[in-house]
A and B are shown apart, each in its own frame.
Chain A
Amino acid sequence: MRVLVQFRTSPEVHAATLRGEAMPSFAATTEAPIPGLVIDPAYNPVQVPTPRAAEPGASPYLYSPAVSFSLAPEEATYLVRGTLPDDPDGRRAALAETAARPEVVGVFADPAIATCLVCPGDPAVGSDRDVADLLGVAALADAGLDGYRVPVAVVDTGINLAHLAGKGRDPRFSARRSWAPAGVATRPGRHPVGHGTMCAYDVGIAAPKATLVDHAVLLSATPGETAMSGLLSDAVLAFSKLLGIVSGMPAGRRALVVNNSWGMFDPAWDFPVGHPGNYSDNPAHPFHVIVASLEAAGADILFAAGNCGRDCPDGRCRFASARPICGANSHPSVLSVAGVDIRKRRVGYSSQGPGRLDPAKPDLSAYTHFLGSGVYPADGGTSAACPVAAGVVAAVREKYPASVLSPAELRALLAKTAEDLGGTGFDHDFGWGVLDGRALVAALAGVKRSRRR
């Protein structure tokens, strides 16, 4: 067991530390070796300032009210690094012996610490090729699942097809099924390069042959604080159009994947929780009704979990200690997608459950924060994880329409075949784990296929 041992001052060590030299010798710190304690000679002793309480009798370790610190030789202490035996009896004896020495202030754990989680603004980790490898895109393709002609609606800031072509992508596109709110000057497929184009690119990782449908809700001309925002009523209109699309498909061939990499950052934009008009927690809100209705009609609806994770939330998050996965992002009829990097570590901004409408959120994780579309330095946020997952769903739908595998059944299959991360089984960081295309293909072998295509 690795430990840090805090020693009281000694003139030799103090002088050596002031000169920036290595610890003179262990004997200078302690009168005799301590059985079982092995000091690391490569670790220079570190002087620890001694806290002094502001008021007599107060604990200096509360650090409030403000304490002062002393580096005077007679008060200073020093940390050295060492190990204790790993066997419990030996460790207990060595610990007792060390702690009993008058020159020892204390013995503390020296746990392994990990590198920091990926945070907003950090450089990309890996590329979309790494994501494709990890997802098992080749296994999906070998099974004939590349999303051929499956419509994927990107409900976002609009798609720029020319940018996708410049990045080597050649997706099918349905202008007829696309839509934008009134007042949007640009045409579907020709919107300014931005967030929606990033999402469209990331759908193509697993579903390069999918048919993109452009719903540029976040280009709404509705007055807002930022250029890239809309109102929920814009999304209601988009979902109404999508409901018309999927309802118009033959019952035996329904397949529509709806990607939603958006959400609400600030509860001040909403009625308070408990108010009958509230959105975040209220399943009766009309948007939640139309989400459920669209899913019941056969659409697979995916929502990003959000970027308000505890470790390094997006600067726009205003949820404080409240549950950040709220509104439709927490709807029981959607797949709520958290984000992990290609090292399978949760990105620090990925929102954690429980969800507001459905506590069992997020459902699962997908890869994000990689070099991909070229729209941003990294395809990041749970915004990128969501279309990565949407591409996998679209790939499946090529041969397994909703009549064969309902949206709820497909969500269950994705969860069942996900690679478990974090705690055993479901947890509120990763959901059921990260998407695994290879396991999914194996599980699909047991599902009756349609005759479509």
Chain B
Amino acid sequence: MPRVMVTLRLDPARATLAEVLGLLGLAPDEVDPGFGVVPIDPAEHLYTILVDQAAAARIAGAPQVEGVFGNPRIEPLGPEEGEGPEERPGKG
């Protein structure tokens, strides 16, 4: 399984990647910087970050951490590949 999502309850003023790294003692290479700190329920001050599984296990007990969650693959629910006429792009 790739990186996992960790739900955090944060003070909105501290909902930046730099703050989260410091709060949770994470190394920069343990976190997906492109994903960042994503608000999932602003009213409840809930955010999520994408981190290595080992790092997620290490921070699971931190007071800001609400839970560690899977990041499964998703696919279109349409015709199976090969049924369409178009050229399919490759993965980057």
Contact = CB atoms under 8 A, between A and B. Distances in A.
A198 B78 CA distance: 9
A306 B76 CA distance: 9
Contacts of B91: 221, 223-224, 227
A277 B86 contact: no
A90 interface: no
Contacts of A269: 1, 70, 72-73
Contacts of B78: 195, 198, 261, 376, 380-381, 383-384
B79 A182 contact: no
Given A222-B2, A223-B91, A231 B84 contact: no
B40 A289 contact: yes
Interface of B: 1-5, 7, 32, 34-35, 38-43, 46, 48, 50, 66-81, 83-92
Contacts of B5: 232-233, 236, 285-287
Nearest to A120: B80
Nearest to B53: A277
Q: How large is the interface on A (under 10, 10 to 19, 20 to 34, 35 or more residues)?
A: 35 or more
A276 B38 contact: no
A263 B74 CA distance: 5
A227 B76 contact: no
Contacts of B43: 293, 296
A192 B87 contact: yes
B26 to A, nearest CB: 17
Given A231-B73, A263-B77, A286-B40, 16 more contacts: A156-B76, A192-B87, A194-B88, A218-B76, A219-B89, A227-B89, A227-B90, A235-B74, A262-B76, A270-B70, A276-B67, A276-B69, A286-B46, A293-B41, A307-B77, A314-B77
Contacts of A306: 77
